[in-house]
Homo-oligomer: A and B are copies of this chain.
Amino acid sequence: MKNFHRSRSLKPTAKQVAHVAGVSLAAVSRAFTPGASLDVEKRKRILAVAEEIGYLSPARRTAEAISATTITLVAGDLLNPFYPFVLDTLAKQLQESERQLLVYALAANTDVDSVTEQILAARPSAIIVTSAHLTSSMARACRQHQIKVVLLNRIQRDIRINAVACDNFQGGRDAGRLLLERGYRKIALVGGVANTSTHVERVRGLRDVLAEAGGAIHAQAFGNFTYKGGYTAGKTLLSVPDAPDAIFCCNDIMALAVIDVAREFGLRIPEDLAVIGFDDIPMASWNSYGLTTIRQPVERMVMEALKIIDDPTIKPSDDGIITMLPGTLVTRSSA
Contacts and interface: CB of A to CB of B under 8 A. Distances in A.
A118 B91 CA distance: 13
Interface in A226-241: 227, 231
Contact of A103 (B59, B87, B115): B87
Contacts of A12: none
A83 B91 CA distance: 14
A250 B92 CA distance: 27
A278 B91 CA distance: 27
A309 interface: no
Contacts of A95: 104-105, 115, 118
Nearest to A92: B105
A287 interface: yes
B79 A85 contact: yes
Contacts of A231: 287
A120 interface: no
Contacts of A227: 282, 286
Interface string A275-288: 00000001100111
Nearest to A62: B59
Contacts of A23: none
Which of A67, A85, A91 has most B Cβ within 10 Å?
A: A91
Interface in A64-93: 66-67, 78-79, 81, 83-85, 87-88, 91-92
A102 B87 CA distance: 12
A259 interface: yes
Contact of A100 (B85, B102, B288): B102
Contact of A102 (B84, B88, B92, B101): B101
Contacts of A283: 283
12 contacts: A59-B59, A62-B62, A62-B63, A78-B85, A79-B282, A81-B84, A91-B104, A92-B107, A95-B104, A101-B103, A102-B103, A263-B288
Among all A-B residue pairs, the 9 with the closest Cβ atoms: A91-B105, A84-B84, A260-B288, A78-B88, A59-B62, A260-B287, A78-B84, A88-B105, A103-B103
